[in-house]
Amino acid sequence: MGLFRRREKTPAEAGPPAAEMRGRAAEIPDAGIFGWEVVWEALKTEPPSDSDSATITQELGLDQEQELKQPSGNRDFYATEFSGTRHGRQVALRMGVIPGLREKGYNEVHVAASVAPFAIREADKRPVAEPGAMPEVEEVLGQLTASDVWRKVEIEAGPDEIVARRPVTAHPQGYVYDLWLVERLAERLGA
């Protein structure tokens, strides 16, 4: 009976205290071995804001928030977008239903970067490049160990941006790991 079976513990529950990692995302060789709180703290690039209107992602440099309305048939769906500039690149985190994706809840991370096209899909709890990816992409992915944090991640890249996407049900904070990975790929590819 699957109703009461135990969920597998992942190595993502380990790591240093989150506060010690603030702003140190570039030092993380494999985000999948850390809990999401550690990676979230490591991704922070901005000091906390005293403003009441600050977004929850303000410390990530994503200080603009907007609601996205997505009509589909006779219903409207809504998503929230947090956007801003990180490391000189435009970044958007979209949480909720994204247009054109089978009307399910998805989270997406968009990083503006001009790169040769490539695609990544999860296989056996690891992000794996589809044939034809550049050696630099393979190099980045080769450093990642198998982990539940990569479940159902899909990444597509092209001349304008790198986009990571996964269903909201795949991992509650999967977008944190996706942001780390997409930025790592953009940096490695010199975008």
How far apart CA 153 and CA 37 sit, in angstroms, is 19
Per-residue pLDDT of the chain (191 residues; tens, 9 = 90+): 444 444 444 444 567 888 899 999 999 999 999 999 999 999 999 988 887 767 889 999 999 999 988 777 777 778 899 999 999 999 999 998 665 655 578 899 999 999 999 999 999 999 999 998 999 999 999 999 999 999 999 999 999 999 999 998 888 899 999 999 999 999 999 86
Q: What per-residue confidence (pLDDT) applies to 82?
A: 94
DSSP per residue, 51-91: -TT--TTGGGT--EEEEEEEEETTEEEEEEEEEEEETTEEE
State the pLDDT at residue 3: 42
Q: What is the pLDDT of residue 48?
A: 87
pLDDT at 99: 55
Asked if 90 and 112 count as a contact pair (C-beta separation under 8 A), the reply is yes
The SS3 call for residue 20 is helix
Q: What is the pTM of this model?
A: 0.86
Amino acid 100: pLDDT: 60
User: Tell me, what's the pLDDT at 98?
Assistant: 61
pLDDT at 60: 94
